[in-house]
């Protein structure tokens, strides 16, 4: 795979945590290439380092050593505030437990990433409507999260993840808290985002059904990709 | 920036803690505002709404009207200066001030307090345009008729309209009216005829103090220098306003100081309350904060958001406290005036200054109490968003 078409390039990634005085190595000399426009599923047992790897790709965390290039940016060299700004422009997040702000309506939750842009109020409203239409929840825009089902909450979260038109969507167990039917809806939606809108999707999952939807499946075990 | 409605609604969602914390702050603001209102009330009572061209003359060495005594002849010297205004409301008046003890109405014989009696010539009322009869009538000059200030009317036996009380044994005074004087301490006095009152107490040829109306406030310095240099007069000349503000300083300073100390002690508790509430909010919302950070909100944005939330919480408390403190405007009570050792009645007085100070005080409490939790919130890692 040529570098120019890779949206994620990791080289020699090490990540060590300290529990007390004991260092715990989570990722060791890990290399990874994710081509632009792919839909990848990362599987592996608990504690294998999946979430840590996802956090590093998403710019939430930094490796102890190694090179991280995502969407053309060298993340290892960026400050906290640079990373925050970079995330807002390049990454869409989908979380296992949706992470909607309970006191804000669906539309206001979706609008959050746009508040970090210079878009006008009417422009933001238009984009929020578009994003909610893509996930099929335009009619629920004024509902609060507690008034929605789990599947609907996750679709609102997906609308929030795409409203800024990011290059990559990272999803952490997106179906983990959902029943089979809702899980299928969410996976279909992610597939559509990948195929129709050309988003690169990097998904951590335990769910074999979810992993099946992805075009590439990877396994992580004891800090190394199999 | 994190939208402000996020903070507003977050406070609203945690109704019970929000109300409890706001009430704590409200209590402190109440105490603080009450102290300030009391101070304003004292100043209003003691600093007469005197005209700037009014001058008060006491015997040299006296600080208060009560301890001053001058010969009647001094009035002539005071009049003989071209700076003194002529005509209606002008000129010089001499007054006699004395304190008698009287029984408090309905409290039995053991309960007595001091009443201040002011004897003034017929034109004395004209020197105090704020004074007006609110019921009954003005006393006849040269008789034993008196009027009573509305603040003390009815507080003492016989010292109310239609009543009679003794200035000295067999020297009764008859109350024929009640007067108001714009909330000043005059409302805690009894006014009667100069000659009748000083004759009753054997001070025929003397006065306690004199009031002089000058042509213009600008004449004061010249007038003061001339009169104080006159060895025959032996007087101290002050602007009326200066005299009263000096009088009020001691009393209001004491009350405001005491109130402020109590409010500051209370505020420590309220700030700890606000800090605990905001700390709980941060702990409870770690995941939300992590999510906001993951979405790209900066540490500063989170810090500002939580500080604003604390300020809003404090402001709610402040407004509630001020709403309750308005009720105090209906309350008045007697305090001892340290200068005259007689009672004056003080009312709580809300002014724009009091309201602004109390609100600023509540915001400071919110800021101090909310800052540490807000810093804690700003330190939440975006990785928290991923934790299950």
Task: For chain A, list the domains and their CATH numbers.
Answer: 2-225 (3.40.50.300)
Residues B205 and B289 in one domain: no
Q: Count Cβ atoms within 10 A of the Cβ of residue B158 and give its class: 0-12 exposed, 13-18 middle, 19 or more buried.
A: middle
Task: Indicate whether A1 pLDDT > 60.
Answer: no
Residues B119 and B187 in one domain: yes
- What pLDDT score was predicted for residue B386? 87
Question: Structural domain of residue B260, as residue ranges?
Answer: 4-47+247-387
Q: Which of A45, A16, A43 is nearest to A29 (CA)?
A: A16
- What pLDDT score was predicted for residue A66? 95
And the tokens for B38? Answer: 């009391």
Residues B269 and B161 in one domain: no
Q: How far is the C-alpha of B244 from the C-alpha of B246, rounded, in Å?
A: 5
> Is there a domain that residue B368 lies in?
yes
- What pLDDT score was predicted for residue B338? 63
Q: Which of B385, B386, B9, B19 is nearest to A102 (CA)?
A: B9
Question: Using the 8-state DSSP alphabet, how is residue B138 labeled?
Answer: P
Residues B160 and B259 in one domain: no
Asked if B3's CB is within 8 angstroms of A115's CB, the reply is yes
Residues B99 and B224 in one domain: yes
Q: Collect all residues of chain B within an 8 Å Cβ-Cβ radius of residue A81.
A: 298-299
Asked if A87's CB is within 8 angstroms of B294's CB, the reply is yes
Q: Collect all residues of chain A within an 8 Å Cβ-Cβ radius of residue B293.
A: 84
Q: Which of B164, B198, B233 is the last residue of a domain?
A: B233
Residues B117 and B219 in one domain: yes
- What pLDDT score was predicted for residue B49? 55
Residues 346-385 of B with CB under 8 A from A: 381-383, 385
A14: three-class secondary structure by DSSP: strand
> Is there a domain that residue B240 lies in?
no
With CA atoms as reference, the chain A residue closest to B13 would be: A103
The H or E element containing residue A94 is strand A91-94
Q: Collect all residues of chain B within an 8 Å Cβ-Cβ radius of residue A58.
A: 294
Q: Which of B233, B260, B292 is the last residue of a domain?
A: B233
Q: How, if at all, do strands B145-149 and B112-120 pair?
A: unpaired
Asked if A95's CB is within 8 angstroms of B291's CB, the reply is yes
Residue written as token pair 């409490």: B365
Residues B146 and B107 in one domain: yes
Q: How far is the C-alpha of B265 from the C-alpha of B262, rounded, in Å?
A: 5
- Tens of pLDDT along B185-231? 888 899 999 999 999 888 888 999 999 999 988 999 999 999 999 98
DSSP string across B290-319:
HHHHHHT--HHHHHHHHHHHHHHHHHHHHH
Domain count along chain B? 2
Residues B75 and B136 in one domain: yes
> Is there a domain that residue B52 lies in?
no
Residue written as token pair 């990433």: A113
> Is there a domain that residue B13 lies in?
yes
Q: How far is the C-alpha of B348 from the C-alpha of B346, rounded, in Å?
A: 7
- Chain B: nearest CA to A33, how far in angstroms? 23
Residues of chain B where predicted confidence (pLDDT) is lower than 50? none
Q: How far is the C-alpha of A29 from the C-alpha of A10, rounded, in Å?
A: 10
> Is there a domain that residue B56 lies in?
no
Q: How far is the C-alpha of B116 from the C-alpha of B148, rounded, in Å?
A: 10
Return all residues near A222 (Cβ < 8 A) that are at least 6 apart.
Answer: A48, A49
Q: What is the CA radius of gyration of chain A?
A: 17
- What pLDDT score was predicted for residue B222? 93
Q: How far is the C-alpha of B326 from the C-alpha of B319, rounded, in Å?
A: 11
Q: Say what the ipTM of the complex is.
A: 0.94
> Is there a domain that residue B69 lies in?
yes
Q: How far is the C-alpha of A162 from the C-alpha of A154, rounded, in Å?
A: 12
- Tens of pLDDT along B264-273? 888 888 889 8
Residues B369 and B326 in one domain: yes
Q: Which of B199, B233, B267 is the last residue of a domain?
A: B233
- What pLDDT score was predicted for residue B229? 93
Residues B43 and B78 in one domain: no
More confidently predicted of B101 and A62 = A62
Asked if B294's CB is within 8 angstroms of A58's CB, the reply is yes
> Is there a domain that residue B123 lies in?
yes
Residues B43 and B66 in one domain: no
A137: three-class secondary structure by DSSP: coil
Dihedral in degrees, nearest 10, Cα atoms A78, A83, A89, A91: 110
With CA atoms as reference, the chain A residue closest to B290 would be: A99
> Is there a domain that residue B112 lies in?
yes
Residues B183 and B303 in one domain: no
Any A CB within 8 A of B286 CB: no
């Amino acid at each position: 795979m040529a570098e120019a078409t890779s949206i994620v390039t990791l080289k020699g990634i090490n990540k060590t945590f300290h529990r007390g005085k004991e260092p715990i190595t989570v990722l060791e000399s890990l290399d990874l290439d994710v081509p632009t426009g792919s839909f990848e599923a990362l599987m592996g047992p608990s504690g294998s380092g999946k979430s840590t790897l996802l956090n590093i790709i998403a710019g939430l965390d930094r490796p102890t050593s190694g090179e991280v290039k995502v969407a053309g940016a060298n993340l290892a060299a960026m400050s906290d505030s640079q990373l925050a700004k970079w995330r807002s422009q390049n990454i869409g997040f989908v979380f296992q437990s949706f992470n909607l702000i309970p006191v804000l309506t669906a539309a206001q939750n979706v609008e959050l990433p746009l508040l970090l842009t210079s878009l006008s109020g009417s422009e933001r409203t238009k984009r929020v409507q578009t994003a909610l239409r893509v996930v099929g929840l335009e009619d629920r825009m004024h509902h609060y999260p507690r008034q929605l089902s789990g599947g609907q909450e996750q679709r609102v979260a997906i609308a929030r993840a795409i409203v800024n038109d990011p290059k990559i969507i990272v999803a952490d167990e997106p179906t983990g808290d959902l029943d089979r039917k809702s899980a299928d809806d969410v996976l279909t939606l992610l597939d559509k985002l990948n195929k129709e809108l050309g988003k690169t999707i990097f998904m951590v999952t335990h769910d074999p059904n979810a992993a099946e939807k992805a075009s590439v499946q990877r396994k992580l075990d004891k800090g190394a990709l199999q | 920036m994190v939208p402000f409605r996020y903070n507003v609604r977050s406070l609203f969602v945690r109704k019970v803690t929000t109300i409890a914390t706001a009430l704590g702050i409200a209590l402190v603001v109440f105490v603080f505002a009450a102290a300030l209102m009391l101070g304003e009330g004292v100043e209003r009572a003691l600093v007469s709404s005197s005209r700037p061209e009014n001058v008060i003359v006491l015997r040299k060495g006296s600080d208060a009207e009560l301890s001053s005594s001058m010969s009647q002849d001094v009035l002539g010297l005071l009049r003989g200066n071209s700076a003194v205004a002529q005509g209606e409301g002008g000129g010089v008046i001499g007054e006699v001030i004395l304190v008698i003890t009287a029984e408090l109405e309905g409290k039995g014989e053991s309960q007595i307090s001091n009443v201040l009696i002011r004897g003034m010539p017929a034109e004395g009322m004209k020197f105090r345009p704020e004074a007006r009869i609110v019921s009954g009538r003005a006393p006849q000059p040269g008789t034993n008729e008196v009027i009573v200030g509305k603040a003390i009317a009815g507080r003492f036996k016989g010292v109310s309209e239609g009543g009679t009380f003794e200035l000295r044994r067999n020297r009764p005074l008859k109350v024929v009216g009640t007067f108001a004087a714009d909330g000043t301490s005059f409302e805690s006095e009894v006014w009667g005829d100069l000659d009748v009152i000083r004759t009753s107490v054997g001070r025929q040829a003397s006065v306690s103090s004199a009031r002089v109306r000058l042509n213009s406030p600008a004449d004061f310095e010249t007038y003061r220098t001339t009169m104080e240099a006159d060895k025959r007069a032996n007087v101290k000349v002050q602007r009326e306003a200066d005299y009263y503000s000096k009088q009020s300083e001691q009393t209001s300073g004491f009350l405001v100081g005491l109130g402020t100390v109590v409010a500051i002690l209370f505020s420590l508790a309220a700030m700890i309350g606000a800090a605990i509430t905001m700390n709980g909010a941060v702990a409870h919302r770690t995941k939300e904060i992590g999510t906001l950070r993951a979405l790209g909100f900066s540490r500063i944005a989170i810090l500002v958001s939580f500080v604003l939330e604390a300020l809003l919480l404090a402001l709610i408390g402040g407004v509630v406290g001020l709403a309750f403190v308005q009720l105090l405007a209906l309350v008045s009570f007697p305090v001892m005036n340290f200068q005259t050792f007689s009672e004056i009645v003080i009312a709580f007085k809300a002014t724009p200054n009091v309201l602004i100070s109390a609100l600023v005080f509540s915001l400071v409490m919110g800021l101090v109490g909310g800052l540490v939790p807000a810093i804690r919130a700003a330190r939440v890692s975006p990785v928290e968003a991923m934790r299950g």
